[in-house]
């Protein structure tokens, strides 16, 4: 039979590195193609690299039909699960595949809800011999914890990969895929405007690291200032309280001094009033004496 290579399926999973491809080729040349190629009808689903190597060297290979596929979505989900089960892919690739799976599952659930809960039928152009069974419904990935379990990553890694997936330019994504920078650094660089991301990626590994460092320092600075602000406010408040207390003390001292002076004035006036009756009687006696 003629095997059809669907370029979209071939590119759905990140290709092998040159070193990985050479290693696979040496293995097949030494031991033959041990694993069967997986087909959906006449469409090649799994084994693109093995198929290419076998054709290049005119080597025999086996094929097997997966009869559970009913749609291209089933094919994509199967490919994702196959690669998530392998140890050879990177953490970033795991995260991206889990995000793809979430999108497919969410779209399928929305479609089922719109159609009254009925599963979609196999497309009219799908292979007739590839729909003999129903694909089990995949686990819903509607939480970060579920994504982390599916990808075998930590929650924090999933958060960073989501950010890269949404915000990073292709140049930054290529850098993290190749291992030029870490997931953590790529997530930091993804916070920058697109033109700055491209410039850093174009400049190379060192500039990408410096860009990530600048982003982290810029994030720390507001927190440091925020942490220092309550202490400064507390100090200012303490200074203001001390000034208020000192002002009140001076005011009390002034009022006390003024009160003492007033008391003295009152005492003097009383003394003067007490002395005037005698002086008045004497004046009266003098004016009434005969000449």
Indicate the DSSP class of residue 121: P
pLDDT at 251 over 70: yes
> Has residue 122 been placed in a domain?
no
Tell how far CA 49 is from the center of its chain: 35
> Has residue 282 been placed in a domain?
no
> Has residue 28 been placed in a domain?
no
How many domains, in total, are found in the chain? 1
Domain of residue 199, residue span: 168-269
- Read off the pLDDT band of 284 (50, 70, 90): very low
pLDDT at 229 over 80: no
pLDDT at 121 over 50: no
pLDDT at 278 over 80: no
d(Cα 214, Cα 219) in Å, to the nearest integer?
9
> Has residue 283 been placed in a domain?
no
Between 72 and 290, the higher pLDDT residue: 72
- Read off the pLDDT band of 125 (50, 70, 90): very low
- Read off the pLDDT band of 242 (50, 70, 90): low
Picking from 119-123, 229-233, 246-250, 252-256, which range would have the lowest pLDDT averaged per residue? Answer: 119-123
> Has residue 148 been placed in a domain?
no
> Has residue 124 been placed in a domain?
no
> Has residue 222 been placed in a domain?
yes
pLDDT digits (tens, 9 = 90+) for 139-182: 778 788 999 999 999 999 999 999 999 999 999 999 999 899 99
Alpha helices in the chain (DSSP H): 7-10, 18-31, 48-57, 72-84, 91-114, 144-151, 155-167, 170-177, 183-189, 194-203, 205-288
pLDDT at 88: 77
> Has residue 96 been placed in a domain?
no
């Amino acid at each position: 039979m003629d095997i059809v290579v669907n370029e979209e399926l071939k590119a759905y999973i990140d290709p092998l590195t040159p070193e990985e491809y050479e290693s696979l080729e040496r293995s097949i040349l030494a031991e033959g193609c041990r694993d069967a190629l997986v087909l959906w009808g006449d469409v090649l689903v799994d084994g693109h690299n093995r198929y290419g190597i076998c054709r290049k060297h005119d080597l025999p290979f086996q094929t097997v039909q997966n009869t559970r596929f009913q749609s291209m979505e089933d094919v994509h989900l199967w490919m994702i699960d196959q690669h998530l089960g392998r140890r050879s892919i990177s953490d970033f690739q795991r995260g991206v595949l889990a995000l793809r799976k979430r999108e497919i599952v969410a779209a399928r659930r929305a479609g089922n809800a719109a159609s009254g809960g009925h599963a979609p039928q196999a497309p009219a152009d799908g292979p007739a011999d590839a729909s003999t069974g129903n694909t089990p419904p995949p686990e819903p990935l509607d939480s970060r914890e579920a994504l982390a379990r599916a990808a075998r990553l930590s929650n924090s890694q999933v958060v960073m990969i989501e950010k890269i997936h949404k915000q990073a330019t292709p140049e930054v994504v290529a850098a993290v895929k190749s291992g030029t920078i870490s997931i953590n650094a790529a997530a930091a660089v993804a916070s920058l405007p697109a033109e700055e991301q491209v410039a850093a990626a174009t400049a190379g590994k060192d500039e990408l690291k410096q860009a990530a460092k600048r982003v982290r320092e810029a994030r720390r600075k507001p927190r440091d200032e925020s942490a220092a602000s309550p202490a400064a406010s507390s100090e200012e408040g303490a200074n203001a309280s001390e000034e208020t207390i000192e002002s009140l003390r001076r005011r009390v001292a002034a009022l006390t001094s003024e009160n003492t002076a007033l008391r003295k004035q009152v005492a003097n006036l009383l003394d003067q009033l007490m002395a005037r009756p005698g002086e008045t009687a004497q004046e009266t006696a003098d004016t009434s004496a005969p000449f």
